Structure 1
Amino acid sequence: MISPRRNHKWDRFDVALLNAVQENNQFTAEQFAEKVGLSSSACQRRLKRLRAEGMITADVSLVSPRATGPRVTLIVLVSVEREQADLFDSFKKAMRNHPEVTQCYYVTGSADFILVVNVASMEEYGTFAERAFINDRNVRAFQSYACMQQVKFTTKTPIVWHEDDV
């Protein structure tokens, strides 16, 4: 969990707003005010400041998986051949440009990267894997894990306020 101690500009109202906006960024100013305990204009000013400071980086809508039809989610562990900055940067850039890759993490451990890949079918994944991994000379190995069931999914960053955080 993130603690406001890292950013002394936050107070309990900012924390409450950050949690509320993660719940639903389409709340009206009046709904934010009710949840937070401030006036609607104070909430609007604070949200504007939090966006300007980069504490809120995007306002998005999550599309229901039912809207897109059946999808296959895969977790992919990728190991690269040579650990050189330019090759890592090249791989990162390539992953940013693949729409199938919904998340990419540079990690410690036995793999160098962990990806979340979302495709319509295993056949589509095979085509993607060939393009993204097999044809990349710097990819030493990759392991794919097909997700059978989504147990938990959230985009929320948990933020808690402690009275001693002042």
Structure 2
Amino acid sequence: MRKIDKTDRRLLQAIQENALLTAEQLGEACGLSPTAALKRRKKLRSDGVIERDSAVVSPRALGFDIMALVMVTLDREDRGVIDRFNQDIRNTPQITQAYYITGDADFVLFIVARDMDEYDQFTREFFYDRHPIKTFKTCVVLSAVKSGGALPIPD
């Protein structure tokens, strides 16, 4: 694991707030010259600390009025079933986040749909037709209190 120093922390905090900072703005945020700040950011990328740059897009602005957290329990838990389920999750754009977890369920999925009819159709096709699912429980999101995924940067 790469050691994160004070300058890295400032850089990471700045780009989590705005990944589009200019070299000058980034340098100012972390106390370096623009060139040194860009080199530092490049090194954090190559070391795997920065995985990717992305935009946080509002689901509702794109017409996805249903956002759901779904806890899924597989009927069978052998390596092949889990690998196929993981691959299908990666290839399904309606599933925007997915986690293989411990506890009562096997997976937690974040799924978007335009309306309940579309969500119902999705669950029939994805859960009932394609995978050995024992159970799934849906929690519909009423409002996003905090989203975007910025991490706290430890000292």
**TM-score range normalised by the length of the shorter chain:** over 0.9
Query: 1:11-62: CA deviations, max 9, x gaps?
Result: 1111111111111011111111111111111101101111111211111122
3-state SS in 2 of match to 1:116: strand
Q: Aligned pair 1:41/2:35, yes or no?
A: yes
- Is contact 2:2–2:47 with CA below 8 Å preserved after alignment? no
Map of 2:77 onto structure 1: 83
Moved over 4 A (4+): none
Aligned residues: percent identity?
38
Q: 1:70 to 1:85 in 2, by over 3 A?
A: closer
Where in structure 2 are there 5+ consecutive unaligned residues?
none
3-state SS in 2 of match to 1:140: strand
The equivalent position to 2:154 in structure 1, one of 155, 160, 166, is: 160
CA distance in structure 1 between the aligned counterparts of 2:47 and 2:79, rounded to whole angstroms: 30
Aligned residues: 155
CA RMSD of aligned residues (A): 1.4
**TM-score, structure 2 length as denominator?**
0.93
- Whose RCO is larger (CA < 8 A, sep 6+)? 1
Map of 2:125 onto structure 1: 131
Q: 1:137 to 1:7 in 2, by over 3 A?
A: closer
3-state SS in 1 of match to 2:51: coil
Aligned AA for 2:83? D
